[in-house]
Homo-oligomer: A and B are copies of this chain.
């Protein structure tokens, strides 16, 4: 099991859409930082920083050969974060049908889907 601080870092790493897109790209296979940067309208340096956040969280690994840094996904940290959901899901799903009785909210909110997202305070 990942330590708390490691799961913190994995979830933090995944809270950014560019970093998630990098992980999705790496699911297809390893890539250089330049290749990772291609789809994005940001600098190579910015992608390098995103890769560093992912690597510090253990979500990717990288190695440099000459001037090229190749990055690959590191599935075990991702699997550990996914297990956090799985280890609690059964219990929170059991609760779903009881919310309406406990919270003074209309039934339709109790059954609200997440798309479109519910009203959020920003």
Contacts and interface: CB of A to CB of B under 8 A. Distances in A.
Contacts of A28: 91
Contact of A92 (B3, B56, B75, B93): B75
Given A1-B115, A65-B104, A78 B85 contact: yes
Contacts of A82: 82, 85-86, 89
Contact of A30 (B3, B29, B103, B117): B103
A67 interface: no
A95 B29 contact: yes
Contact of A99 (B72, B78, B98): B72
A-B CB proximity, top 6 nearest: A11-B15, A82-B85, A27-B91, A12-B15, A63-B103, A27-B92
